[in-house]
Amino acid sequence: MLSGTIGKLRAEVQARVQYFFPIGDQELLLRGDGEEYLRLTTEGQIRCQACQRLTRKSYNQGYCYPCFTRLAACDMCIMKPELCHYAAGSCREPAWGETHCMVPHIVYLANSSGLKVGITRATQVPTRWIDQGASAALPLFQVGSRYHSGLIEVALARYVADKTQWQALLRGEPAELDLVAEAERLLALCASELAEIERRFPGDRVRLPPVVQNFRYPVVRYPDKIKALTLTPAQAIEGRLLGIKGQYLILAEGVFNVRKHTSYVVTLESY
């Protein structure tokens, strides 16, 4: 039995992805073999991941309301990097922006619930792809800032999705895609937009080698019906663990989004 605050699942790339469930200062290795039974309970406490104060409601996956309104990590430009206002001098936390936004970023294609475009800090490869449950990913460009990567993402998103459809992700494996061919097709479609962005950031964009990375997830069986499970004091989350994909635990009774419950204070039992 483990007790403490939930963190997002930690993953290691092996022949298939191996997952660890952080609880407080410990973590549980999840076998993903269909034989493990989990039970999660809570008394309703949530501890802000920034200031550690207790809060009744979680904002932006694990923050209290004051931190949600104050921290750069919770600003709108994190969800929409093309709205970055660091250069305007109005970043909530300029020092945080320098270490998280004004650093190398990767623009990539992935096959998760289908073809999508995305961005991530270079240091978050391949973690970001696994968190999204991608079966394959292909880095396209490396650029010097989140803002620059966001502009490229917007250009590509005119022709391809930029979000993962979580229900489709959990229905089974996506159809195989030739990501290298898809990349060439998309880059041709938005060549003029990309050329205009490059004129704004001369010498800042590097085309990366077309190397696809594939991932296998520990899933014994996908659910017949997608039912999202929410942890409350009145409702424990329990059942046989049939698989893990992205940040989702696939249980016999439904699917549990671990990332959504970040900072919940819970007790975890595994049998």
Domain boundaries, the chain: 2-63+218-270, 68-214
Dist CA 120 CA 150 (whole Å): 10
Q: Please give the pLDDT value at position 137.
A: 98
Neighbours of 48 (CB within 10 A): 20
* Residue 225 predicted with pLDDT over 90: no
Q: Please give the pLDDT value at position 251.
A: 95
Q: What pLDDT digit, counting tens, does each position of 44-54 carry? A: 999 999 999 99
The answer to whether the CB of 65 falls within 8 A of the CB of 46 is: no
User: Which residue's structure tokens are 């004004």?
Assistant: 102
Burial class (CB in 10 A: 0-12, 13-18, 19+), 21: buried
Q: What pLDDT digit, counting tens, does each position of 119-153 carry? A: 999 999 999 999 999 999 999 999 999 999 999 99
pTM: 0.94
Q: What pLDDT digit, counting tens, does each position of 247-257 carry? A: 999 998 999 99
Q: Please give the pLDDT value at position 5.
A: 96
Share the mean pLDDT of the chain: 96
* Residue 197 predicted with pLDDT over 90: yes
- Reading the block at residue 67, the tokens are 């931190």
Q: Please give the pLDDT value at position 77.
A: 94
Q: Please give the pLDDT value at position 224.
A: 84
Compute the average pLDDT of residues 10-14. 95
Write down the H helix ranges in the chain: 65-70, 76-79, 94-100, 127-131, 146-156, 166-169, 179-189, 191-200
Write down the H helix ranges in 157-265: 166-169, 179-189, 191-200
CA 52 to chain centre: 22
Task: Identify the band that residue 200 occupies on the pLDDT scale cut at 50, 70 and 90.
Answer: very high
Task: Identify the band that residue 178 occupies on the pLDDT scale cut at 50, 70 and 90.
Answer: very high
Q: What pLDDT digit, counting tens, does each position of 77-117 carry? A: 999 999 999 989 999 999 999 999 999 999 999 999 999 99
Phi, psi angle pair for 176, to nearest 5° = -65, 145
Task: Identify the band that residue 32 occupies on the pLDDT scale cut at 50, 70 and 90.
Answer: confident
User: Which residue's structure tokens are 């041709």?
Assistant: 188
